[in-house]
Amino acid sequence: MEWNQLEYFLTVARLQHVTRAAEELSITQPALSHSIGKLEEELGVPLFERSGRNVQLNRYGEVFAKRVEAAILEIRKGKQEIEELTNPESGTVALAFLHTLGNEFIPTLISSFRKRYPNIHFELYQGSNSFIIQKLENGASDFCITSPKINCDGMMWLPLITEELYVVVPKGHKLSGQREVDLHAFSEEPFIGLNTSCGFRSILDDIFQSAGFHPKVTFEAEDLSTAAGFVSAGLGVSLLPSTSGLKMDGTSWLTVKKTECTCTIGLAWKEKCYLSPAAKLFKEFCSHHFCEQN
């Protein structure tokens, strides 16, 4: 069963005349009759009552016509939706990002992008590192913005910004009056860490391994905001980026002395996954935008 057969069938049903239908379709009358005949043969029933060139749907034809009209309408809607999604000036970009990036980083990035491309829309997913990577892997999102780099085969990575990490202590802590501290200064302090569901955990592990000690973890938070909240409540110290929304009342942020403590936020996408024209524009924008800033 071919697309043309269905369109021919509906045209004949609407005009109830084979010759006029052939003229409207710009094909010969024998070709149209042959197409309708093949369709009836495939279905195993006649679809029309015939009287010369005049035809009228029979009960089988009426049932089939309703289904064909609905199917063609859905297909046309699908084609229109795909055109809208893939149009570089009015398409859609699916983007997944970490919880902590939703306060400032992502809104600012999208706002800057839409000043240049106002008709491109976004489908946004916000969650933990494992959540956004899953969205990327199963094709629900075109990109994810995360830290650290996703080290998987077939995954591409564009570094966007590098942020400094700070020792975060409660106000009134014995270290809170200092501007900078050595990591070893809190090696005996209760430490608010992060559990393995948070991508930032691997960054902390690498930093402490390089420093040659493991902090005394008293609680592992699921996200950076929770870690900052526990520090603010006086329950320990932590090592965090100065992301907007983390600098809570009741905390002091100290520069790390000597040891390099940074994290890089980047854009990830699947190497062999299809990127729509709109998604490609977003990737190019990110590349140029952050290159200019750096």
Burial of residue 29, with CB atoms counted within 10 A of its CB: 0-12 exposed, 13-18 middle, 19 or more buried = middle
For residues 41 and 36, what is the distance between their CA atoms, to the nearest angstrom?
Answer: 9
Please return the burial class of 216, using the count of CB atoms within 10 Å of its CB with bins 0-12, 13-18 and 19+: middle
Query: Where do we find the tokens 């990575």?
Result: 157
Total number of residues shown for the chain:
294
Q: Is 162-263 the same fold as 92-159+265-293?
A: yes
Quote the distance between the C-alpha of residue 216 and its chain's center.
Answer: 37
Domain ranges of the chain: 3-86, 92-159+265-293, 162-263
Q: How far apart are the first and last CA of the chain?
A: 58
Q: Say if residue 83's pLDDT is above 80.
A: no
- Span 177-198, pLDDT tens digits: 899 999 998 889 999 999 887 8
Query: Could you tell me what percent of the chain has a pLDDT over 90?
Result: 59
pLDDT digits (tens, 9 = 90+) for 204-253: 999 999 989 999 999 999 888 899 999 999 999 999 998 877 888 899 99
Domain 92-159+265-293, CATH among 3.20.20.80, 3.40.50.300, 3.10.20.30, 3.40.190.10: 3.40.190.10
> At 27, phi and psi to the nearest 5?
-130, 170
Residue 239: predicted pLDDT? 95
Banded model confidence at residue 84, pLDDT cuts 50, 70, 90: low
Topology of domain 3-86 in CATH is Arc Repressor Mutant, subunit A (1.10.10)
Tell me the pTM: 0.68
Task: Give the residue-averaged pLDDT of 80-102.
Answer: 82
Look at strands 251-256 and 180-181 and give their pairing: parallel
Q: Averaged over 89-110, what is the pLDDT?
A: 90
pLDDT at 294: 56
CATH topology of domain 162-263: D-Maltodextrin-Binding Protein; domain 2 (3.40.190)
What pLDDT is recorded for position 221? 93
Confidence category of residue 63, pLDDT binned at 50, 70, 90: very high
pLDDT tens digits for range 34-49? 999 999 999 999 999 9
Contacts of 124 (CB under 8 A, 6+ apart): 95, 96, 97, 106
